[in-house]
Amino acid sequence: MRKKLVVGNWKMNGSRAVNAQLLAGFKDSGPWNADVVVCVPFPYIAETALALTGSATAYGAQDCSAHEQGAFTGEVSSTMLADVGCRYVIVGHSERRAYHAESDQLVADKAKAALAHGVTPIVCVGETRSEREAGQTESVVKRQLAAVIHTLGHCCGEIVVAYEPVWAIGTGLTATPEQAQAVHAVLRAQLHAATDRASSMRILYGGSVKAENAAELFSQADIDGGLIGGASLKVGDFAAICLAAAH
């Protein structure tokens, strides 16, 4: 049985005062019978680490560079993330792919860089609404994941995968449990063809997950938790989702 994983993605939100209240609330709400991670903006990583001391909740970042060091102004390397204790990093989020024109290969290179320094990449894949309506969901997510599998080789079994249909992110729309499970099954089959660790790998669902729909989503055979956006900014909502993952 794969232990569920719930990852809160704060995106570009927060302040020192707000974060302190949020993290104190998370700490008081746990522990849960699930692995829980908060991925916070770079400036708040150190304070998050301090606030979560003694907690079972881990912390991570929302992106990393594919480069280890050098003249890359504004970039943050996975070496740096490891140095400040990050255990996870999100790579290939649909917002990075759309707004920063990140290619499948760049996402794969970032995942490789993260693994090289002991940081687990949470690799995001997902289709747009037009791609789904055109019947391209399977081909899109398999193409995105294939780049990572090809680049990582036998190490691909060490990543976390997150399926996030772009049309369901921040829109209030959510894939039905059946729709989400169908894509997760496709991704699991693709991983099985690449690594003998596929059965133990965790594949998360992301896209307007709420306290009200989390339990049903997480009950699907190949959905191993969630990548949570807006709801991770509210203690009660995030705690309820973590509790749903624990059952």
Q: Where are the alpha helices (DSSP H) in the chain?
A: 16-29, 45-51, 78-83, 94-99, 104-116, 129-133, 137-152, 177-192, 211-218, 235-245
**Cβ–Cβ under 8 Å, residues 11 and 40:** no
Catalytic residue, from 93, 102, 127, 184: name it. 93
The HSE-up count of residue 31 (CA atoms within 13 Å, CB side) is: 9
What is the spatial distance between Cα 66 and Cα 84, in angstroms, rounded to a whole number? Answer: 18
What is the spatial distance between Cα 201 and Cα 109, in angstroms, rounded to a whole number? Answer: 20
Catalytic residue, from 102, 127, 164, 184: name it. 164
Q: Is 93 a catalytic residue?
A: yes
CA torsion sign for 110, 77, 8, 40 is negative
Minimal CA–CA distance to 48: which of 35, 64, 61, 30? 61
Angle between helices 177-192 and 137-152 (to 10 degrees): 30
**Cβ–Cβ under 8 Å, residues 158 and 196:** no
Question: Which residues carry out catalysis?
Answer: 93, 164
